[in-house]
Amino acid sequence: MRAVVFKGKNEVAFTDLPDPKPGPGDVVVEVKASGICHTDYEVLKDNYGTGAFPVVPGHEYAGVVVEVGSDVDTVSVGDRVAVDPNFECGSCRACQRDWAHLCETLGAYGVTTHGGFADLSLVRASNVHPVGDMSFSQAALAEPMGCVLNGVDAVHAPWMDEALIFGAGPMGLLMGLALRAEGVSQITFCDISDDRLELAASFDFDVVASGSASLKQWQHRADLSVEATGVPAVAAGLTSFIANGGKGLYFGVCPSDAKIDIAPFEIFRRQLTLAGSHSLNHNIPRSLEVIAGLGAHADKVVSHRLPLQNISQFLATSPPNNSLKVQWLRDK
């Protein structure tokens, strides 16, 4: 089968691998759509510390089950499925609390073992979820939406009216759409890119340019302020936009060694709640429901649908300019 392979740190190949064979409890998925994530670039740089090379990247994918292992009775050949990439140990303290995403030895398809940028992917039967007749491109958004919902769950409260989201990239936009689905009525995006602000506006979100006078009017105003850029300077400024009693979510992936200054007096005096969120926690079925409810808005989050070879090139360099979510979409 064709596969993109991270052979070692900063070493990408588009090559052939033997077709996987399912053991007991496994299924083989023919991948139909698979999205690039910022995490893939971190895996390539070995910033995740797993050093699991060689590895096929890709943890946001969907496809059709083409083979099942001996004792699999929950899934059948021909089923259209989305993959939950995470597999947890099941016994550590986090796992005992059902926090799979915080497992001390969390593994993931596309990170610690072969993932979705290959013709075929070997996964546990328990990691696939039926997608009905949803398009594969939308179904491959289930994983990023799962991460978004995990972030929403960390901070959302029924009293929230106004949210300010920094970063109108694919994850920020999915966050805005999920917050809207939760009933947050006024959602505003801030970004340095006019193109991205224009795009956010096309989703009927309000927009405010980074560094503009209008952004200054957001001081102490947002019930919820979300950092979805991964830029430490943006993370550092987040608290100043949060209303008294409001919440802040650190959702973007900042460099692991970045540090910011936060005034504890401000957190105390204005009773702010600051939260983080990581990955997704067994919520693919709920993600699929939310995506189905978004309809065409979900499709607009994907800017590129390309052949696998192009994906390999973009993983070896950087994502295309002005891109949102970039996916490999297999021709029929």
Positions in the binding site for Zn ion (CB under 5 A)? 37, 39, 88-89, 92, 95, 103
Q: How far is the CB of 37 from Zn ion (least distance, A)?
A: 3
- Residue closer to Zn ion (CB basis): 139 or 164: 139
- Residue closer to Zn ion (CB basis): 72 or 291: 291
From the CA atom positions of the chain, what is the Rg in Å?
20
Euclidean distance between CA atoms 160 and 218, whole angstroms: 15
- Residue closer to Zn ion (CB basis): 92 or 262: 92
Euclidean distance between CA atoms 111 and 325, whole angstroms: 18
Identify the H or E element spanning 145: helix 142-155
Long-range contacts of 307-311 (CB under 8 A, 24+ apart): 307/331, 308/2, 308/4, 308/14, 308/117, 308/119, 309/14, 311/4, 311/34, 311/36, 311/117
Q: Cα–Cα–Cα angle for 274, 275, 281, nearest 5°?
A: 170
Q: How far is the CB of 88 from Zn ion (least distance, A)?
A: 5
- Residue closer to Zn ion (CB basis): 37 or 324: 37
- Residue closer to Zn ion (CB basis): 85 or 176: 85
Q: How far is the CB of 103 from Zn ion (least distance, A)?
A: 3
Euclidean distance between CA atoms 75 and 69, whole angstroms: 10
Paired strand residues for 20: none
Both tokens of 315, joined, read: 């993983």
- Residue closer to Zn ion (CB basis): 79 or 88: 88
Euclidean distance between CA atoms 274 and 267, whole angstroms: 8
Q: How far is the CB of 252 from Zn ion (least distance, A)?
A: 12
- Residue closer to Zn ion (CB basis): 218 or 251: 251
Euclidean distance between CA atoms 77 and 42, whole angstroms: 34
- Residue closer to Zn ion (CB basis): 100 or 125: 100
Q: Is residue 118 within 8 Å of 14, Cβ to Cβ?
A: no
Give the pairing of strands 107-108 and 86-87.
Answer: antiparallel
Residues in Cβ contact with 322 at an 8 Å cutoff, skipping those fewer than 6 apart = 193, 195, 196, 303
Q: Which three-class secondary structure state does DSSP give residue 290? A: helix
Q: How far is the CB of 41 from Zn ion (least distance, A)?
A: 11
Q: What phi, psi does 21 have (nearest 5°)? A: -120, 135
| Omega within 30 of 0 (cis) for the link into 54 | yes
- Residue closer to Zn ion (CB basis): 22 or 115: 115
Q: How far is the CB of 99 from Zn ion (least distance, A)?
A: 8
Euclidean distance between CA atoms 274 and 276, whole angstroms: 7
Q: How far is the CB of 169 from Zn ion (least distance, A)?
A: 12
Residues in Cβ contact with 314 at an 8 Å cutoff, skipping those fewer than 6 apart = 36, 306, 320, 326
